[in-house]
Amino acid sequence: MPRGRCGRSVPAMSRSAPLALGAVALLLAPAAAGAATKTVYAGPPVAKAKAMPPDSTGNAFYPRSIAVKPGGKVAFKIGGLHNVIFAPKSAPLGPFHAPDPARPVAGTGRWFDGRPGWFIDPAHLIPSGDKVVDGKSLDASGVFQGQGAPPDYVVKFPKTGTFRYLCTIHPGMKGSVKVARKARSKPDAVAKQVAATVKAAKRLAAEVPAGNVVRAGNDRKEVAFFSFFPAEKQVPVGTAVRFEMSKDSTEIHNVVFGSEAVLAETAGKFISPGAQGIAYDPVSVYASAPGALSHQGGEELLSTGLMDADARTSFPASATVTFTEPGSYPYICTVHGPTMKGRIDVS
């Protein structure tokens, strides 16, 4: 008799044993396939993202739709500032950020004291749920707070159906998981989707708006840029320059003028956790004046306030600044920091 790993005798295998084992394997095959783990990327896969133009990204899930069998899992690999939210239709999650009249701005000495403060709902930042998606309860990845790459967010799907999810940080960034007994996913879906994103981004990188217009990000669908188009512009004294968002951008931006030190400080305070919650700095949220904006030169801070293309918020999609004195006027987007910068030269 052959011996087992513990040294004890085990029965010899009969001729019928291979047939029996084969039958068992066939019975177990569907369960094994159903438990397979598929991969979805939040943002382009790192290796493929290298083909993107500088200062650009894809605010999308790759692939947008995927299929698994009952009992299967999906591992979300999150690159960049994204979350993954499965919210039931009966209790949808509110917006990522919103004004709160009960917590007004105070102590700035500016016109917007008393206006609603803007806060991030912590429900979008904190992981929740049991990672078993059934369409009845909230399952959320939260936003990774540690160092290095975030761990995969792995969720399981025990029953058939189509389960939709989204990144609440970037409006329009969404996807779906189809759970079916005959689930089939296209093996080249990610490569094709990334190639389309890269192609669109390269085309957009070469576009510059006409006239006295500066675009904050030259975005379209999932493509987002963290740069201004054009980054530098020359205009005569008295010119009104319109700073605008792309019409379907998934980002928020602002345009803030000032000295290098003032801009760096303002960008550093854009998000300011405090006793009232996680708030946006009102100096970056609200325009420096409630009406028309004009710049008379100098290094004093001047802000357009936040802009976006999301109809659900009260932020405008554009703002105009008139330059009444000659000089060089550097600016940044304080949402995304000093690297998203530009300059208006007035003569």
Range 35-74 burial, b when 16+ CB lie within 10 A, else e: eeebbbbbbbbeebbeebbebbbbbbbbbebbbbbbbbbb
Shared domain check, 284 and 178: no
* Average pLDDT rounded to a whole number, residues 211-225: 95
Tokens encoding 85? 């939210």
- The yes-or-no verdict on residue 62 having pLDDT over 90 is yes
Q: How many other CB atoms sit within 10 Å of the CB of residue 161?
A: 13
Q: Give, for 34, the enclosing helix (H) or strand (E).
A: helix 17-34
Shared domain check, 180 and 212: no
The answer to whether position 155 is within a domain reads yes
- The yes-or-no verdict on residue 13 having pLDDT over 80 is no
The residues facing 242 across adjacent strands are: 213, 320
pLDDT reported for residue 25 = 33
- What values do phi and psi take at 30, rounded to 5? -60, -40
Beta strands 271-274 and 277-280, pairing class? antiparallel
Using pLDDT thresholds of 50, 70 and 90, give the confidence band for residue 65. very high
The answer to whether position 63 is within a domain reads yes
Shared domain check, 212 and 253: yes
| Number of domains comprising the chain | 2
The answer to whether position 28 is within a domain reads no
The answer to whether position 77 is within a domain reads yes
pLDDT digits (tens, 9 = 90+) for 161-178: 999 999 999 999 999 999
Q: What is the CA radius of gyration of the chain?
A: 26
Contact 193, 62 (CB under 8 A): yes
The answer to whether position 221 is within a domain reads yes
Q: In what order do the strands lie in the sheet with 213-216?
A: 228-229, 213-216, 240-245, 318-323, 293-295
Shared domain check, 234 and 164: no
The answer to whether position 57 is within a domain reads yes
- The yes-or-no verdict on residue 184 having pLDDT over 90 is no
Q: Give, for 174, the enclosing helix (H) or strand (E).
A: strand 174-179
Residues spanned by the domain of 45: 35-186
Task: Record the pTM.
Answer: 0.84
